[in-house]
Amino acid sequence: MSYRNGNYSAFYVEEPFSESNLGASATKDFISYNLLRAWKAADSDFPFNDSHNKNYNVRDGSDWESTLKPRLHDRINNSKNIVLFLSSITKNSRALREEIDYGINTKGLPVIVVYPEYSEKSDIVTSEKKFKKQITDLWSNLPKFRDSMMNVPTLHIPNKKDLIKKALNDSNFMVARKCDANTYFYAP
């Protein structure tokens, strides 16, 4: 059995993907993922352990079934949770569907959903402790997530460093000690 200590980041980028492609680097979701990496590089105590660094990188020309999909599964297998970046530009790509389906429905990984376009807890939920419509509308960008998220604990947070750090340290959102399947947020 593998040691599950990584944080698997799921984010949308246009395909074909190239990290050196300015188009990929300019998307909200990928910028947010790179921000996690930058926080970790600047502070070794920042609790982000990037599962994407755990095996060989792949190229867009690689075959989906024989190379790309197994590589995603390997990274997810070594992860304790998924950090999903969900924004207005997120699209229902094959890779995101596979990451979410395998991570949630096969491996039972809790999901920390980060909303790159929102910076405050009050952007996520109302004063009545209900998700705001702009948040629930984003779930439709990724139907596999929307339809599967109740199978695992999902924590919904704005794109704020202190809240992301708190979520990454929260054992309720790690596969070994996860809390009950439900949707959660940090109260405003």
Q: Answer yes or no: is 1 within a domain.
A: no
> What average pLDDT does range 138-166 have in this prediction?
97
The pTM of the full predicted model, rounded to 2 decimals, is 0.91
Q: Answer yes or no: is 13 within a domain.
A: yes
Q: Answer yes or no: is 126 within a domain.
A: yes
Q: Answer yes or no: is 157 within a domain.
A: yes
In angstroms and rounded to an integer, the radius of gyration of the C-alpha atoms of the chain is 15
Would the CA dihedral through 58, 152, 79, 165 be positive or negative?
Answer: positive
Instruction: Tell whether the model's pLDDT for residue 17 goes beyond 70.
Output: no
> What average pLDDT does range 27-54 have in this prediction?
91
Q: Answer yes or no: is 39 within a domain.
A: yes
More confident residue, 80 or 21: 80
Q: Answer yes or no: is 42 within a domain.
A: yes
Number of domains the chain is built from = 1
At 71-100, the pLDDT tens digits run 899 999 999 999 999 999 999 999 899 999
CA–CA distance, 27 with 95 (Å, rounded to integer) = 16
Q: Answer yes or no: is 73 within a domain.
A: yes
CATH number at 138 reads: 3.40.50.11200
Q: What range defines the domain where residue 173 resides?
A: 6-185
